Structure 1
């Protein structure tokens, strides 16, 4: 095959264009910090990158879900703590009222304060996170109490769950219908016992029976029993808070792991890319020099 001058020129231009293309790709990698600028550069890297980004997106969503879980649990814990503190005050009032030296007026004052505490506990039972009631089961749009009456027709004791990891859901609410109903019934019972208009007036033993504990006449709806139920519910909330902390650590570890995998998959090795860039520039300059020598002079150059 006869090699002509035009063939040499065309081959030289083709090789120079390939050299420019390689240097352009290396320059893009150094500038962007990524091995690829478009999926066609390396489909395998691109597909893996999509998977890693999907995983990171899930971690971000689970982290947002975890914040919502913390909001529910923290609010529930604080609300139950308020109820527990009110139980202590009710106990103090009952102990004072159980003294036979108290007059009906003094018991009436204790009853009035207990009635206000009862309303306060009902307000706590209607605690909301955002626009959702946290003690109404899955009926989060309905308050637990309406005008001092349990809204048992429109609330339930079902669990509200939020996904916090792949296939893992956590119960974020505390089903308060039974608990707050028991507390409210107990408060109503105490209020009736302390009623100064009651005939006959309650004896000190009757009043003391509402305390529970070591009293021989204690019942299942006394103050001690109710307070213990509240503490048990708080303990359950605390256990879930501890688990949330463990899940947050797990999410953090997963985020670090996936980010590292994404970096290893896509991030350019600067030292390697810069070395290749310098090498390509040297080869390109050499190609230009050799090409200039290969191209022969034209007939016009000889005529001159």
Structure 2
């Protein structure tokens, strides 16, 4: 079966071809001006889905990174504070050992008691350390000082302040705080605390009672160092997670660039080829569509 090709059919076919060329040229010009090959989902549905997944992954990884940074700040603050507290406790031990030989006059024992009282006040101040306006050693009660400035009583709790640092359901959450009751309470309680007991014994000249507190002091110092080592282990863990997250973020960024951004040299060459093709199509159209009798009768 044959079909009759009229001048109008030929013109419509040529114009449709020119429109297709112009559309491709316009899309390439838009990509070149924006630097993106995905300006709307219809440009490439497959790449659009991939880009959306990558952007969701990037947002999630970025949030995990912020959580890690915050957790490291909390733990670093606690680590520094515990280091200072350990130095203070070591100084108390030196004083206790010096007083234990029984050869010092009462004036010296009284001076030691005053120094220990000052150390106790300093430990209370350390126990009320803040990071970003939050009390580090108060458990989840971060808005009020965990230790009473006079009695040394602990008013916080032992609940964990957690940060989610990965998708892992088992190990993706890390506690970034240290409850003060596990570190300072045995030393700070008024009357019954180790430091108050040592100070009272020194003021009374009771060297035997001073020596009796040496074991308790060593146990408290050991517990403090144990907590500090745990904090250090968590810092190392978060730093490892941070390194992995940064590497993953770089991979996601490269994937997004490949999915969304143009290859500039290739796009420039493609634009030049399309411009040449369009100009050639215009020239061919001018030769194909010759003036007809109707053109002369208009």
Q: Could you tell me which residue of structure 1 aligns to residue 38 of structure 2?
A: 36
| 2:280 is the alignment partner of 1:286 | yes
4+ runs deviating over 4 angstroms? 298-303
Tell me by how many angstroms 1:229 deviates: 1.3
Tell me by how many angstroms 1:112 deviates: 0.9
Q: Secondary structure at the match of 1:194?
A: helix
After superposition, where does 1:165-184 map in structure 2 within 5 Å? Answer: 165-167=166-168, 168-184=172-188
Q: Is the 8 A contact 1:144 1:177 kept in 2?
A: no
Tell me by how many angstroms 1:100 deviates: 2.7
Whole-angstrom CA distance in 1 between matches of 2:31 and 2:57: 24
| 2:189 is the alignment partner of 1:187 | no
| 2:185 is the alignment partner of 1:208 | no
**TM-score (norm: length of structure 1):** 0.88
Q: Secondary structure at the match of 2:165?
A: strand
Q: Is the 8 A contact 1:76 1:134 kept in 2?
A: yes
Whole-angstrom CA distance in 1 between matches of 2:32 and 2:75: 48
Unmatched runs of 5 consecutive residues or more in structure 2? none
Q: Figure out how many residues of one structure are paired with residues of the other and give that number.
A: 288
After superposition, where does 1:1-304 map in structure 2 within 5 Å? Answer: 1-152=3-154, 154-167=155-168, 168-184=172-188, 185-195=193-203, 198=204, 201-203=205-207, 205-212=208-215, 221=216, 223-299=217-293
Whole-angstrom CA distance in 1 between matches of 2:209 and 2:56: 65
Q: Is the 8 A contact 2:136 2:177 kept in 1?
A: yes
Q: Is the 8 A contact 2:138 2:146 kept in 1?
A: yes
Unmatched runs of 5 consecutive residues or more in structure 1? 213-220
Moved more, 171-180 or 9-18: 9-18
Q: Is the 8 A contact 1:5 1:296 kept in 2?
A: no
Whole-angstrom CA distance in 1 between matches of 2:64 and 2:258: 24
Whole-angstrom CA distance in 1 between matches of 2:12 and 2:247: 56
Whole-angstrom CA distance in 1 between matches of 2:150 and 2:23: 78
Tell me by how many angstroms 1:78 deviates: 0.6
Residues 301 and 108 (structure 1), Cα distance of their counterparts in 2 relative to 1, 3 Å cut:
closer
Q: Is the 8 A contact 1:143 1:151 kept in 2?
A: no
Tell me by how many angstroms 1:150 deviates: 4.3
Moved more, 233-242 or 86-95: 86-95
State the superposition RMSD in angstroms: 2.0
Whole-angstrom CA distance in 2 between matches of 1:39 and 1:301: 44
Tell me by how many angstroms 1:255 deviates: 0.8
